[in-house]
Amino acid sequence: MANETNDHFFIQWRGKTTGPLSQADVLTQSKAGQITRFHMVSSDQLNWKPAGELDWIFTPKPEFVYTPAATAQPAPELQTIEESSESNGPPVENSQWKYSIDNGPEIGPVPLAVIKQLAASGQLKPGDQVFLEGSSEWVSARKVKGIVFGRPEKNGAKSFKQRRKEGLSQCSNYAAIILLITLPIFLLWPLSPVLVVALYFAFLVAFAAFVLAIIGIVQSKDKALAAFVFIGTIVAPAVLPIISPIVIAGIVAEYEAYCSRSRKTNEEAAARELRESFYYLGIGQIDKAREMAEKVRNRSETAESKEANRLLACDFDLAKTIPADIVSAKEELKEIQNKPTLGAATGTQTSTQSAPAAIAALAHGMDIDYVEKMAKDETNKLPKDKLIPTYFETYAKGMGFYSKAVPGTAGNQENLAAALEQFIRCDVLYLRIDDEKMMSREVEEKEKQASMLHYACMKMTILSH
């Protein structure tokens, strides 16, 4: 493969072929380090040779042959380089060099300053080969004057000064983090115990990281820094006993508050769902009523779940227990009243007081006794022939108000109060109709529903509180 007769070459590396290239192109890429001694070169893509075997591409490295000390003679060119170095001093800084580390690929040309830097960092070792542009042979790096070889750093190890500087920086950073974490613990305690707990655990993490930094700093064997770290190891743990009781108290308080909030939320949801169950029962949507009662029953820790279980057990047929249920609800409603009775509030109670006034009282804490007395007085004044028509009229009014008492809507309580008043009147009318021996099957069916709605109105009012 003579370079005199061919001016096109192909280069192959790792199965990839480039070319054709001119001789000038090959030399240019070789000088730029793009072609190493290990690249394969061919002029016909049939016969390939390593680039290192072609003298016109690379200057061959010297072969060192052992000879006895008595007869060993330095190579003429090497002698020339050493003599040149002795006569002319160290190589000039702007000279261009190539180098090969551990007999690896040829790199360069680079300035002498790069060679010195590589030697000082330990990357270029005394036995590695270097080549000065314009000379005839490669020589060991130790032969070049002015190059000082340093100890190679193992696995990226840093100098003592670097470790000390970085250690101090880490120490100050972690100290600042601990300070920033502990201050909010005291400042934000009245606002949010949860935040205090979170900051406390963040402090523990930061402290652990700080301890790890301390270990690394102490290993640097810097006495002044070790003393500073020793003080830090005493002060930092001392903060924990001060903060711990506060944090423990915060955890307990927050847990109790969380449980209280959870209970309250659960109870509110159960009350809302049970109100809806009673409402759907009253308007005849029994499937919806069952669905809501099932939800309440699943909230097993609430008082409402017991009522839901009872309703589901009898499939909402309360005919046998309704009288006792009404009495129990009446007593419960009295217990939660937070307003004075109508007569006590006005001081002018009479048997002829208007229905709107009674409705207003019912909406803000019912006086059931007064409403029943008013209904009895009005019923006793009715002639016998008006009893049944009045009963049906009263029942229709009660259903009208009840259908408007959708839980969670505006006017819900006022409509419940008005509906309850009408169903109380239905109960009173029913008793007089029975006394007068005027009972009919239709009235009995209506009264069964009216009694259930009487109870439902009171329970919905109770659950709203």
| pLDDT at 47 (0 to 100) | 83
Cα–Cα–Cα angle for 130, 134, 138, rounded to 5 degrees: 25
Cα separation, 239 vs 15, whole angstroms:
66
**Prior bond of 109 cis (ω within 30°):** yes
Dump pLDDT digits (tens) for 355-409.
Answer: 444 444 444 456 788 888 998 999 999 998 999 999 999 999 999 999 998 888 8
| pLDDT at 77 (0 to 100) | 43
Provide mean pLDDT across the span 18-29. 83
Answer whether residue 322 shows pLDDT above 80.
Answer: yes
| pLDDT at 102 (0 to 100) | 82
What lies within 8 Å, CB to CB, of 294 at 6+ separation is 308, 312
CA dihedral 289, 292, 294, 298 (to 10 degrees): -160
Answer whether residue 298 shows pLDDT above 80.
Answer: yes
| Beta bridge pairs of residue 21 | 9
Cα separation, 113 vs 92, whole angstroms:
10
- Say how many C-beta atoms besides its own lie within 10 A of residue 407's C-beta: 20
Answer whether residue 455 shows pLDDT above 70.
Answer: yes
| pLDDT at 259 (0 to 100) | 77
| pLDDT at 76 (0 to 100) | 41
- Say how many C-beta atoms besides its own lie within 10 A of residue 56's C-beta: 13
Of the given ranges (39-43, 125-129, 166-170, 300-304), which has the lowest mean pLDDT? 166-170
Answer whether residue 107 shows pLDDT above 70.
Answer: yes
Provide mean pLDDT across the span 198-217. 62
Record the tokens describing residue 110, joined without a space: 């680079």
Using DSSP bridges, classify how beta strands 107-111 and 129-132 pair: parallel, antiparallel or unpaired: unpaired
Tokens 């804490």 belong to 365
What lies within 8 Å, CB to CB, of 414 at 6+ separation is 359, 363
Tokens 């259903």 belong to 399
Cα separation, 208 vs 13, whole angstroms:
52
Helix (H/G/I), strand (E/B), else coil: 210: helix
Cβ pair 417, 363 in contact under 8 A: yes
Q: How confident is the model at residue 28 (pLDDT cuts 50, 70, 90)?
A: confident
| pLDDT at 342 (0 to 100) | 38
| pLDDT at 426 (0 to 100) | 93
Higher pLDDT, 90 or 334: 334
Dump pLDDT digits (tens) for 67-101.
Answer: 444 444 444 444 344 444 444 455 666 788 899 88
Dump pLDDT digits (tens) for 220-272.
Answer: 555 665 666 666 655 655 665 666 666 667 667 777 777 777 788 888 888 88
Record the tokens describing residue 279, joined without a space: 């409402």
Tokens 């005394």 belong to 126
Answer whether residue 202 shows pLDDT above 60.
Answer: yes
What lies within 8 Å, CB to CB, of 396 at 6+ separation is none
Helix (H/G/I), strand (E/B), else coil: 229: helix
Answer whether residue 441 shows pLDDT above 60.
Answer: yes
Q: For 261-270, which contacts have Cβ atoms below 8 Å and span 24 or more sequence positions?
A: 263/301, 266/299, 266/301, 266/302, 267/302, 267/303, 267/304, 269/299, 270/296, 270/299, 270/302, 270/304, 270/305, 270/308
Provide mean pLDDT across the span 170-183. 62
Q: For all residues of the chain together, what is the average pLDDT?
A: 74
